[in-house]
Amino acid sequence: MFSRTNDLNFIDLKPGTSVEGDEIKAYRSDLKASKYVYLIAGVHGDEVEGVFVLSKLFEWLKAQDDIEIPLVVIPVLNVDGYRAGTRVNSHGVDLNRNLPASSWTSEARDTKYYPGPEPLSEPENQFLDKLLNKFPPSFILTMHSWKPFINTNGDCKKAAELLARHNSYPIIEEIEGHPTPGSLGEYGPEKFQSPVLTMEFPVLSDEISLKDIWEENQVGLENLLSSDLLKV
């Protein structure tokens, strides 16, 4: 059994650059591998819930000495949108409709889903795609907020079931009436043969806080990353 003598270390990767020139930070664990587990938040800048949960999970990971999974962590992909509190980036593009999946379309159901002039037109996604190609994914966990559920794309049902046992979120394979052309959920399995598990957290309200959202997901996420399910 692999055992560390020190806490899990993360290496600062060369950052990306947003539309407005801000750094997009990313980190790789010091376990080198042919494939990596990705943890991503802040694809939509107004979804602070996922950013908070990933920040807490990242703190926990850095204190572990027995995690054997090679990881890439992107705490906030859409840094401009996060600063401005907008779903879209500074070009008004929904980054989760701008990836070069075969499903990409220039049509949008609403302005908030604007996919950009062409696939991969946005610097944030160009950075993400560069990372995915340099450090190929074996599993992608991306954190959003809308209403609580777990969306599976590819072979990740067991991971979803583990999380659901702790947070009681429903598991959904396809979101009825909500197509996602050009999304990471479609691009990951198609291009990299990597399953993509999307966690949709509840939105902040008078009844639920960021702390509440973390606490109802903490055990499940920590157990998932400590399990054998994500090992290559």
Please tell me the predicted confidence (pLDDT) of residue 7: 83
Average pLDDT of span 198-218: 98
The percentage of residues in the chain with a pLDDT greater than 70, rounded to a whole number, is 97
Task: Domain 10-226: state its class.
Answer: alpha beta
Least confident of 31-35, 96-100, 197-201, 216-220: 31-35
Tell me the residue length of the chain. 232
What's the mean pLDDT when you consider all of the chain? 96
Average pLDDT of span 18-42: 97
pTM of the model: 0.96
Closest listed residue to residue 147, CA positions, set 202, 87, 101: 202
Please tell me the predicted confidence (pLDDT) of residue 189: 98
Structure tokens, 55: 């920040």
SS3 letters for 93-132?
CCHHHCCCCCCCCCCCCCHHHCCCCCCCCCHHHHHHHHHH
pLDDT digits (tens, 9 = 90+) for 49-75: 999 999 999 999 999 999 989 999 999
Distance CA 25, CA 72 (A): 11
Would you say residue 232 has pLDDT above 90? no
Domain residue extents for the chain: 10-226
DSSP symbols for 135-147: S-EEEEEEEEEES
Average pLDDT of span 130-134: 98
- One-letter amino acid identity for 155? D
Q: How confident is the model at residue 6 (pLDDT cuts 50, 70, 90)?
A: low
